[in-house]
């Protein structure tokens, strides 16, 4: 187990530069991450509260891209937003679009677009007004909020907001899903007012796996992985190579997904990588994150799978922020304490 923090930043962070951008000063943090605790004796509302507060603060628009939506409290908050004049739009995976919650939203004037792709519309992000964005692993469901391990990342920055807005419009207006999407237009790497460097990428159009491979190969000390689903041979082999080179690699799998067809779990174990199964019994370890040298985090809806790379609509953030990295490390250790 790792006890000491190292002070190394992955200088070879992908093959694109970061740009210093003047940012409006907010009273809030530029970026923060919220995790829920499915082991709490009472249902932990942390993620739900973050989303509800953001909905309540919206003044002009709320754009949501989500795989699944069944939470009645979020439904009610969006209907309230419409009543006070906020424009609400929703993109949802087609097979999850025919339920009572979605019908209620339609009846209250919320415009909804169903995905049109062979893959999953698996993205999970929310664009609010012109400064605020939420991106993460949670769906708008009670399972995601209270029973599964999840995270959501809140960002206050107009340029990040614009990038997510453009991705949303691509699906909502242009009806482009999966491989038909446009590559993200630079600048995709942004420096927030607090010094955080953040890169926004979408799959499959932006080649996320190549970015993750670059980060794995550049890591010098440690790589920690939280994997709901992991079937990418390329990523598996890259982790093994770094482990053989002396890098401290640890992986926690969602147990129910660890034996799916093509899972890398058994392969990593055979090659000596410390590999664990989550300890949840009533929920899922639904997080998708990699932590590099305890300094840089890659996290979002993107599972480490062939489908996520080639056909699913996904989002991922590459975040260079020691505080955020520490919080993900704490979450990793917390899940590891209960893992098998």
Confidence at residue 1, expressed as pLDDT on a 0 to 100 scale: 43
pLDDT in tens, 210-223: 999 999 999 999 99
| The pLDDT of residue 12 is above 70 | no
Domains of the chain: 24-338 (3.30.870.10)
The whole-number pLDDT of residue 259 equals 87
pLDDT per residue as tens digits for the range 148-177 = 999 999 999 999 999 999 999 999 999 999
In this prediction, residue 28 carries a pLDDT of 56
Strands ordered across the beta sheet of 197-203: 19-20, 189-191, 197-203, 314-320, 296-300, 288-292, 222-227, 248-253, 275-277
Which run of H or E residues covers position 197? strand 197-203
- Per-residue pLDDT at 236 exceeds 80: yes
What's the chain's length in residues? Answer: 340
Run of H or E including 19: strand 19-20
- Strand 275-277 to 248-253 pairing: parallel
Element (H, E) at 235: helix 233-244
pLDDT tops 90 at residue 9: no
Mean per-residue pLDDT of the chain: 92
Over 60: is that where the pLDDT of 255 sits? Answer: yes
pLDDT of residue 189: 86
> ∠ CA 287-200-302 to the nearest 5 degrees?
30
Enter the tokens of residue 196. 């955080």
Check residue 24 and give its pLDDT: 34
In angstroms, the CA 95 to CA 69 distance is 11
For 29-72, the pLDDT digits (tens) are 799 999 999 999 899 999 999 999 999 999 999 999 999 999 99
Give the integer Cα–Cα distance in Å for 22 and 49.
30
């Amino acid at each position: 187990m790792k006890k000491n923090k190292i002070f190394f930043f992955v200088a070879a962070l992908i093959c694109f530069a970061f740009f210093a951008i003047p940012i409006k000063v907010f009273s809030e943090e530029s970026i923060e991450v919220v995790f829920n605790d499915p082991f709490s004796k009472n249902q932990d509302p942390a993620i739900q509260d973050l989303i509800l507060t953001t909905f309540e603060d919206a003044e002009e628009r709320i754009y949501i891209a989500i795989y699944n939506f069944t939470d009645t409290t979020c439904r009610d908050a969006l209907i309230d937003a419409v009543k006070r004049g906020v424009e609400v739009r929703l993109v949802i995976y087609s097979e999850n679009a025919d339920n009572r919650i979605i019908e209620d939203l339609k009846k209250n004037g919320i415009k909804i677009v169903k995905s049109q792709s062979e893959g999953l519309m698996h993205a999970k992000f929310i664009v609010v007004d012109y400064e605020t964005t939420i991106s993460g692993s949670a769906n708008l469901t009670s399972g995601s909020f209270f029973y599964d391990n999840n995270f959501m990342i809140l960002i206050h920055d107009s340029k990040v907001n614009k990038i997510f807005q453009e991705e949303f419009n691509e699906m909502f207006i242009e009806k482009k899903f999966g491989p038909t999407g446009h590559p993200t237009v630079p600048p995709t790497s942004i420096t927030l007012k607090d010094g955080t460097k953040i890169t926004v990428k979408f799959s499959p159009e932006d080649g996320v796996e190549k970015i993750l491979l670059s980060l794995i190969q550049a890591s010098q000390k440690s790589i920690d992985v939280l994997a709901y689903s992991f079937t990418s041979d390329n990523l598996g082999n890259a982790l093994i190579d770094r482990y053989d080179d002396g890098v401290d690699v640890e992986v926690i799998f969602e147990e129910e997904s660890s034996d799916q067809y093509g899972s890398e779990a058994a392969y990593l174990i055979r090659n000596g990588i410390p590999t664990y199964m989550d300890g949840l019994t009533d929920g899922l370890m639904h997080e998708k994150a990699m932590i590099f040298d305890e300094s840089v985090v890659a996290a979002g809806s993107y599972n480490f799978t062939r489908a996520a790379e080639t056909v699913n609509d996904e989002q991922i953030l590459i975040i260079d922020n020691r505080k955020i990295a520490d919080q993900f490390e704490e979450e990793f250790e917390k899940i590891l304490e209960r893992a098998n």
